[in-house]
Structure 1
């Protein structure tokens, strides 16, 4: 199966001990970016988005797919932040890249810290994106982590890495 967002391949894999896994399913996706956006008054710029797999609304950092030809995660993060929320950031920096699922997926998630985020008042959401912008005080978001406010493991991991890079949390 192949489309612009996913290639699903059945591979034959032989382990070091000689076991043959046939088929072994590998999903090839483009890389993604996750934006940890902080406003000057220490609020997080988040989105609440419908997620069909979970069949519910999910609170998460903005982000998305790196389009074909995009090589700079910060440029993609800048685009995604503006498109999804209408916010722009004074500074953007890549703070880490992690595998989405190294057992089955080929892509990585690039975590970009966007500081000094301000609202332009205009977003440019893609067709089919059902989401709303949520601005949340950082302390409220951190308090919500233990309560399950963020339900997507990759989003939570990226958010924590971004906040650590921003000096807002330590671990």
Structure 2
């Protein structure tokens, strides 16, 4: 099996937070696709933060794409030159006013957002024994509330669809698998 050859690319949207490209591609069998559309958004970090009491630190915020208030783990865009671990510690403080230490940070991996058409990636970082401290620092378009859920409560919310972000569920499942291996 061979990858496709990109023959041409035209950006239909070229903004800092989103790029949409129309690509002309040649398949290994010689067939040419004139209009394959791809998306790009900045890489981001998913933060699985757990308190010493075993509670997951969660956020609730409005998500315009779904038109709903969403229950999520904290997450955020990686700044230029920032490692996923550094971004996780920074975003945790900014979004929910929790602090973690470098020795309690575990990098769980990087995954494609959607390998079919999306060029963005997300990193999964687990931070254990986080503590409340400091204050939040929201971006101008953020309005975030924080909650703490036990593992049992979180699993119930996954089962009933209250917690329904598929990439975040995948990150949580990756953590579950990694902790079984320890």
TM-score normalised over the length of structure 2: 0.86
Kindly report which structure 2 residues correspond to 1:140-155, keeping only aligned pairs within 5 A, or say none: 140-155=153-168
Aligned counterparts of 1:93 and 1:123: Cα–Cα separation in 2: 23
Match of 1:76 among 77, 87, 108: 87
What are the ranges of 5 or more consecutive residues in structure 2 without an aligned counterpart? 1-12
| 2:66 corresponds to 1:48 | no
Task: Kindly state the Cα deviation for residue 121 of structure 1 after the two structures are TM-superposed.
Answer: 4.3
Aligned counterparts of 2:125 and 2:168: Cα–Cα separation in 1: 12
Bigger Cα Rg: 2
Instruction: Please provide the CA RMSD for this pair.
Output: 1.5
**Alignment length (residue pairs):** 167
Are the equivalent residues in 1 in contact too, given 2:19–2:41 (CA < 8 A)?
Answer: yes
Which fold has the larger relative contact order, with Cα–Cα distance below 8 Å and residues 6 or more apart in sequence?
1
TM-score normalised over the length of structure 1: 0.91
What are the ranges of 5 or more consecutive residues in structure 1 without an aligned counterpart? none
Match of 2:170 among 157, 160, 167: 157
Which residue number in structure 2 is paired with residue 128 of structure 1?
141
Which residue number in structure 1 is paired with residue 117 of structure 2?
104
1:143 alignment partner, SS class: helix
CA deviation profile, 1:65-106 (whole Å, cap 9, x unmatched): 112232x10000111111100001231121111100111111
Match of 1:85 among 96, 104, 114: 96
Aligned counterparts of 1:35 and 1:81: Cα–Cα separation in 2: 7
| 2:81 corresponds to 1:66 | no
Task: Kindly state the Cα deviation for residue 116 of structure 1 after the two structures are TM-superposed.
Answer: 0.5
